[in-house]
Structure 1
Amino acid sequence: MTQLTPEGQQIINNIAQRYHFSVDAVLSLLQSVQNGNGSMAQFSHPEFGGSGQWMRGGMIMIGDMFNNGLKNSIGNLCQELANLLANQPNVLQSHTFQSQTQGNPNTASPVSLFVQPTGGNAGNWWPQGLQFPNSTGSQNNIKYAYFATIRRLAIEANGHVTLYDTLDHQIGGFSQQQSGGSSVTFNSQYGVVDVQSLPVISIDNVPVAPQAANTYVAQPSGNALLPNQEDDIFGAIEKLAILREKGILTDAEFNNKKAELLSRL
């Protein structure tokens, strides 16, 4: 995260005190909201019940799913932090987020929250020369930035930034395999896909020669199957079954998605 100004640190301290969270917890959530461009956040902190996700508009999921008091506090905190970021110049990477701080002195910030970067890529971690990403996020030690219009995906892991060609994938979401270290998958029209199957464009801004092994094979039916995609499809169905058991998906939603996935085999 970009360094806070003294005034910005005081704002965060005040917010932490009002919500009865530690400053460390609020800072971690601020980073998550910033990574999500003010419209979403994927977070993981003990004070927030472990891992969770928030989306602007009211959707929030936390590990302690039946703790409605904690859920409401985190949701309100995410919204306040998003509003706070919206008032900072050159922090959010698009104009789709509309500030809702009018008349609320707790969220409006008359001072600069962050120390302004000098030159470079305006504090962004992805390779220079790329325009604003369509979506960004982070989980554990991994960050991603997806540039749909130019078919590029930047992943930062273990201090290195890898730029991928997303081919014709229409990416709808990312996830990290908890047991797979830095393994990242995403959902597209072809199902659940491992990021490592995409062609690598560069690593730390150093171009990488194209590798034929990274390309996918188009099938006569028009679908494109990647190596190990059959296992990925069955894994996706198992995850959907868990969501149905928890009541997140209805039977109809589960059956429709299951049929869609099985049709790709």
Structure 2
Amino acid sequence: MQAFTEQGQRIVNDLSQRYGVSTDAITHMLYAVMNGNGTMAQFNHPEFGGSGQWMQGGMTMVGDMFNYSLKTTVNNLCSELSNILANQNPPLFMSTGSYQSQYQGSGQPQGNYGQSSLFVSNSSSSGNWWPGDLGMAASSGAQNNIRYAYFPASHRLAVEVNGHVTVYDTLDHQIGGVSQQQGGGSSLSFTSQYGLVYLENLPVISVDGAAPQIQAPPQNTQPAFTPAPQAPAGNQNVSESDIFALIEKLADLKQKGVLSEEEFATKKAELLQRL
């Protein structure tokens, strides 16, 4: 989990006071909205009634389905968080147009944060460990000798293993968790709305900043066909038994698919002319 900037922590504290929930609940919902690319959230927190879901401009569902006050709180909070995330500097998500939060009930948002910077930048004087064009990661972490960073806006996941950075296309997965196989291996698995997501199933975009090399299929070093047995030169005496033996070899090659029917017929006619 990324550290908040001073401004980010102030925003979290302000939201906590206004919505009457803990800063942990605000942080949990913030990451849920962020993992939903700013338009949806799947959450599970006791202060929000356990498991629930929010969709921008759609239905809000909470564990206590008849608690309409809680639904309003969740909808207002998620809408405000979505608006805050859309105004991140640098932006976390691609803007698709002007956004106005829709609030229900009499309560109106009091925060006016403008361009905000919620998280401390992961970059150092030497830059991030992932390619610079990916921008700021929505989430990042490390386990043993592996580091990872997730970029929901561009659908990218960067993983560094033993100093080598591979960037994957996460497709339509919304990464929300990560785990590592036991036993000291370097295999990571991630969790999305579809369940477990394995790295080997994701398309590779780049390895150490370069596009992956597409290996050409192995070339067949064997000849396309086996040369047919050649009859002795026309000026030599050839016995009938030799001719028929050669024809039998040709028939065997045709049977094995080495010679086509046309090639067999041509060679056979040449041999029969020597009788």
TM-score scaled by length of structure 2: 0.49
- Cα–Cα, structure 1 residues 105 and 87, in superposed 2: closer, same or farther, change >3 Å? farther
SS of 1:158's equivalent? strand
Say how many residue pairs are matched. 166
SS of 1:83's equivalent? helix
Aligned twin of 1:78:
78
CA distance in 2, matches of 1:69, 1:77: 12
* Range with greater deviation from structure 2 (54-63 or 121-130): 121-130
Contact 2:88/2:115 (CA < 8 Å) preserved in 1?
A: no
Aligned twin of 1:95:
95
Aligned twin of 1:117:
122
Residue 6 of structure 1 and its aligned partner are, at CA, apart by 1.6
Percent identity between matched residues is 39
TM-score scaled by length of structure 1: 0.51
SS of 2:28's equivalent? helix
Aligned twin of 1:228:
none
Q: Which structure 2 residues correspond to residues 24-173 of structure 1 after superposition, within 5 A?
A: 24-96=24-96, 98-100=98-100, 106-118=111-123, 119-120=127-128, 121=130, 122-124=136-138, 125=140, 132-133=154-155, 146-147=170-171, 156-158=177-179, 161-162=188-189
Residue 31 of structure 1 and its aligned partner are, at CA, apart by 0.8
Gaps of 5+ in 1: 135-143, 164-172, 177-183, 185-194, 208-265
CA distance in 1, matches of 2:175, 2:27: 24
Contact 1:145/1:155 (CA < 8 Å) preserved in 2?
A: no
Q: Which structure 2 residues correspond to residues 180-191 of structure 1 after superposition, within 5 A?
A: 184=196
Residue 94 of structure 1 and its aligned partner are, at CA, apart by 1.8
Gaps of 5+ in 2: 102-107, 131-135, 141-147, 157-167, 181-186, 213-275
1:9-28 residue CA offsets vs partner (Å, 9 max, x unmatched): 11211111111111110010
SS of 2:193's equivalent? strand
Contact 1:38/1:97 (CA < 8 Å) preserved in 2?
A: no
